[in-house]
Amino acid sequence: MKYIYELYVVILSCTVFSMDINDLGGYLRSGDSIQKIKITDNINIKDNNITYFYMFRHAKTILNHQDLVQGNSIDSNVYLTSNEDIENIEYLSQINFDKIYANDYIRTQTTVNLITTDYSKIENTWLFNEQNLGRFEGKYKKDVIQDKEFQKMSSDPNYRIPYVEAGIDVINRFLYAINNISSPGKTIGICTCQCAMNWFMKWATEDYKTIYQIHNLDVIPFLYDIDNKKIQLLSEMKIVSPIDALAFNLVYN
């Protein structure tokens, strides 16, 4: 039996995570996050102050079903059309999150509200927003990925297109936020969007040529060593399903 859910969930009051914008601006301009935070494969959980992160893409939306690019300025609500969608939400809801961060969009905030009804755990921050894709937003994905400038931008974090956010800026604000929200022994969820997750993966793997296939509700589980400012991806597959993310949570927590 096919279930169709069109969800217009009222976003209840949540804490808005804020930072000193002047501090952030200097941080992004200096590229400090790239210099300070390193990727590793040997974090010692017993000896370090560790935060357990689960970064996941929002649930499928109305515009996802139409294969249209949303980006930063175009948003649409969650539209679940299968038992698999519902099961994946259920798996994520079983992860023992201490906090879950959503970005500024209805699609991520709705997803988080489906995962937990404990609104004291939810915080919103623009730092995990989708990449601003400028003129590519609202277009069909098949047309965007054929665009020569988009292809150049997708493989070079420093390549800049007018009114489009460069990959390096997405990476910097993500790493800045991760460093600032980390807390020893806590499990933190980050609900964000496809292109932004791709830039995080490109940085984490040091492979800027690959475009990672990140489906709705796919998860990147990783550790953050607060003392040494190091990130370790938890899975050799790098991107996992919600049920695999739940398995990691049961092992590490």
The average confidence (pLDDT) of the chain is: 87
User: Which of 25-34, 56-65, 78-87 is least confident?
Assistant: 25-34
CATH code, domain with 69: 3.40.50.1240
Q: What is the model's pLDDT at position 39?
A: 85
Residue 26 clears pLDDT 50, i.e. is over it: no
Q: What is the model's pLDDT at position 178?
A: 96
- Where residue 7 falls among pLDDT bands split at 50, 70, 90? very low
Residue 43 clears pLDDT 70, i.e. is over it: yes
Q: What is the model's pLDDT at position 46?
A: 75
Question: In the predicted model, what is the mean pLDDT of residues 77-103?
Answer: 95
User: What range defines the domain where residue 168 resides?
Assistant: 5-252
If one counts the domains in the chain, the total is 1
Residue 11 clears pLDDT 50, i.e. is over it: no
Burial class of residue 87 in the structure, from the number of CB atoms within 10 Å of its CB (0-12 exposed, 13-18 middle, 19+ buried): middle
Question: In the predicted model, what is the mean pLDDT of residues 135-163?
Answer: 96
- Where residue 74 falls among pLDDT bands split at 50, 70, 90? very high
Q: What is the 3-state secondary structure (H, E, C) of the chain?
A: CCCCEECCCCCCCCEECCCCHHHHHHHHHHCHHHHHCEECCCCCCCCCCEEEEEEEECCCEHHHHCCECCCCCCCCCEEECCHHHHHHHHHHHCCCCCEEEECCCHHHHHHHHHHCCCHHHEEECHHHCCCCCHHHCCCEHHHHCCCHHHHHHHHCCCCCCCCCCCHHHHHHHHHHHHHHHCCCCCEEEEEECHHHHHHHHHHHHCCCCCCCCCCCCCEEEEEEECCCCEEEECCCCCCECHHHHHHHHHHHC
- Tens of pLDDT, residues 205-235: 999 999 999 999 999 999 999 999 999 999 8
Residue 68 clears pLDDT 90, i.e. is over it: yes
Enumerate residues 6+ apart whose C-beta is below 8 A from 228: 48
Q: Which residue would you say has higher pLDDT here, 15 or 80? A: 80
Enumerate residues 6+ apart whose C-beta is below 8 A from 221: 52, 53, 54, 55, 233, 234, 235, 240, 245, 248
**Which amino acid, one-letter code, is at 171?**
I
Q: Which residue would you say has higher pLDDT here, 202 or 5? A: 202
